[in-house]
Structure 1
Amino acid sequence: MAKLLYGFSCSIDGFIAGPGGDMSWLTPYLGPDPLVDELIPEIGALLVGRRTFGGDDPHRGTEGEGKAFGGGWEGPQFVLTHRPAPPAPGVTFVDNLVEAVAAAKEAAGEKYVNVLGADVARQCLEAGVLDEILALPVPVLLGDGVRMFDRPGKPVGLEQLRPHWFRVVSEKLG
């Protein structure tokens, strides 16, 4: 059964995108990463937030522009949205989290569903369907932008599986 993984790069102060969703801050830090290179073949599907799907691309201006992982991955994508979007090859637009998760997990088979986008990751966490988190810190302080999690509330228990990789243990501690 597929697991949902929220994998993201973030600034040291906790932002995955700059103000307005700007991803250009990440471009100088893209490159070979053994952990990411190991993960990519284990991804069977993407569950993407609408703003992330239609947003800025750190691979802008390269041959990987507009492609998942800069062109390093191909497969089914499920975009969670309530706004109509033009059809795109390999992309299914779904307006319900439960249906989107089920479809992405079915498409992924035994591999990961990689969650892209802070809001959809928050929704998955709150629904109790997020299994793992991979946080890849980047040596920069952005100071403002889109937080990796913007979720007031109680702490969430995590178990470290290996460096930067965690299993969601519980929605509440204590």
Structure 2
Amino acid sequence: MAKVCFGMIASLDGFINDQHGKLDKLYESFKPSDEINEEMARTGAVVMGRRTYDMADDPDTYADHYEFQVPIFVVTHHPPARHPKENSQLSISFVTDGIETAIQKAQSAAGQKNVVVLGADVGQQALRANLVDELQIAFAPILLGTGTRMFDHLEDREIQLEKIRSIETDKQIEVYYKVSR
């Protein structure tokens, strides 16, 4: 069964976007190494929340330019009126009955590859439901001071982690943790 990885890029002070909800400052320094690209190639499906999905100015660009050309499952209460463009590798499904269903569908689509969960809210939902096998956190060399925190709503839940490995580039460090159950 596919491994479920909650992966994000965060500032050193724990924010996944700035005070305006933008990611630009975090991604300015993100330059994937060969090792990071190999890890990304192990992705067979993506689960994201509606806010993460809506960050694209034009949802049709997922089919043309998104870094993960795999099936995408968007957790939402309100699917958009118009379905976005897809291609032979990338399909987009809107899942309205919760994170468990989205992860289940993504695992089925991913086969032996990994499922990557993107977005603070949907990632925290997956952590609370004990659906995450691994955390993958890239730390950008910036202190934002404000924005959306990566782990703000875990409701006093303690989650034990075991460091598996780290990848260091000239601009950042990416740390991989196994979630202990």
State the TM-score, normalizing by the size of structure 1.
0.86
- 152, 164, 181: which is aligned to 1:161? 164
Ranges in structure 2 where 5+ consecutive residues have no aligned partner: 167-174
User: 92-101 or 106-115: which moved more?
Assistant: 92-101
- Cα 1:56–1:139, aligned 2, differ >3 Å: closer, same or farther? farther
- 1:142 corresponds in structure 2 to 144
- 1:132 corresponds in structure 2 to 134
CA shift for structure 1 position 56? 5.3
- 1:87 corresponds in structure 2 to 83
Does residue 74 (structure 1) correspond to residue 69 (structure 2)? The answer is yes
Structure 1 CA distance for aligned equivalents of residues 20 and 96 of structure 2:
23
In the alignment, residue 94 of structure 2 is paired with which amino acid?
Answer: F
Structure 2 CA distance for aligned equivalents of residues 147 and 56 of structure 1:
20
- 98, 101, 125: which is aligned to 2:100? 98
Structure 1 CA distance for aligned equivalents of residues 144 and 33 of structure 2:
21
CA shift for structure 1 position 83? 1.1
State the TM-score, normalizing by the size of structure 2.
0.83
The DSSP-based 3-state class of the residue aligned with 2:28 is helix
Structure 1 CA distance for aligned equivalents of residues 32 and 116 of structure 2:
19
CA contact (8 A) 2:4 2:134 kept: yes
In the alignment, residue 158 of structure 2 is paired with which amino acid?
Answer: P
The DSSP-based 3-state class of the residue aligned with 2:124 is helix
- 1:49 corresponds in structure 2 to 49
Deviations 1:88-140 (A, max 9, x none): 22100001222111100100011111001000000000001111001111110
Structure 1 CA distance for aligned equivalents of residues 160 and 92 of structure 2:
33
The DSSP-based 3-state class of the residue aligned with 1:162 is strand
Deviations 1:13-48 (A, max 9, x none): 001111242112124213233342121110000001
User: 89-98 or 42-51: which moved more?
Assistant: 89-98
Deviations 1:36-80 (A, max 9, x none): 2121110000001100000157xx9xxxx9448x64331100000
- For these two proteins, the number of residue pairs brought into alignment is 163
Structure 1 ranges of 4+ moved more than 4 A: none
RMSD: 2.0
In the alignment, residue 69 of structure 2 is paired with which amino acid?
Answer: E
Identity fraction in percent: 37
